[in-house]
Chain A
């Protein structure tokens, strides 16, 4: 088997076995979304308007808070050191690590979002746009969150710090993502927003693994 595929499968398996990692973001995602109707108003016209924003902000927080520990264990056990010393590409390794983490933590969020859509009286015909947006957006956010995790890998208690560092950076993703869904629910054309979201997706996936690798090397002072 190709060593990269094996690496990916190992990473997915490792995260999957630690169920807490899969379940905590998912439960967080569902509970936070259920707070908004209680806090604001259960009227469908209000909920319909805030639904995309709530789902997107919720997903963003779930991802950023969950990614805090992405490289922690590898750092403490010296696995990261081996990655950096290894002649094979660190960027590719980081890329696969983030994608594997996304598969285990964010795909369940996307799978759960149709239920949230029903709770928040969001029109079902806009569901596809929401899901496509979330698909692109959660990968992009995972890479940004992984950058935060890499920058703070040698620090303890860095969850809040990661959020503070990268939430401002992630605002364009939030704007395009949430508004593509809102546009679709208002029977307007959501494509411009989705295309712009896709642009950010490619920009991030192309550039950020390099930044993550540099950040990881910084924590070993090489």
Chain B
């Protein structure tokens, strides 16, 4: 066994993960803090005003990273669900269950900030655009995952049922996006085509740093939440008692 695969085999063991996630979580938290503060300074002070949108465009520094995280977290969930179903790793289910509320929250933030941004810029809080609609459907899928996961008395049944839903959803989200796109082009011109094609470097770098910051923020939270999920799921084990006792 190579050191690499050995690492993954050991990582799948809950007690090992529990030990390892603590220092990693700390590292992620500090990275997130530094990156987000840097990006806030860059985005709110250093970046110039936009000649069309004035200062209003700065909501982008929250909106775009949240939208990115809503997709990223769903991807993490779908991959964990797949790993859980194929290799029956309980840890993978714990990661998926820990991710879902975080993903739902990021999606909600993306939807709300998008609406607030849309009102002054497009003159309306909501349009049935492909991106907005698929983001909304994504939010519903998160809610469905959370509901299904918690509907069963036996946690493992809930985990596996929700995992199937996550996989179906992962296939479905791109289809939803393209179907709404098709429907849009049929009836009305797309109300916006993304941001202006080129973002000035002074505005772009804080955005990228913010996206990295959000990703580490999620990384920290998901490790932290997975630790509690593991303790809950393994509450009858010897090592759990040892950990809680100490």
Contacts and interface: CB of A to CB of B under 8 A. Distances in A.
Contacts of A218: 157, 160-161, 164
Nearest to B156: A221
A221 B133 CA distance: 36
B164 A172 contact: no
A3 interface: no
Contact of B140 (A154, A161, A168, A214): A168
B75 interface: no
Contacts of B92: none
A219 B164 CA distance: 12
Given A164-B147, A172-B176, A200-B175, A214 B157 contact: no
B47 interface: no
A147 B168 contact: yes
A126 to B, nearest CB: 16
B144 interface: yes
Interface residue range, chain B: 20 to 34
A164 B144 contact: yes
Interface residues on A, range: 20 to 34
B62 interface: no
B151 to A, nearest CB: 6
Interface stretch (B103-111, B177-185, B215-223): B177-185
17 contacts: A147-B168, A151-B165, A154-B152, A161-B148, A164-B140, A168-B169, A169-B141, A169-B168, A169-B172, A171-B176, A172-B178, A175-B182, A176-B179, A192-B182, A211-B168, A214-B85, A218-B164
**4 nearest interchain CB pairs?**
A172-B179, A168-B140, A218-B160, A165-B144
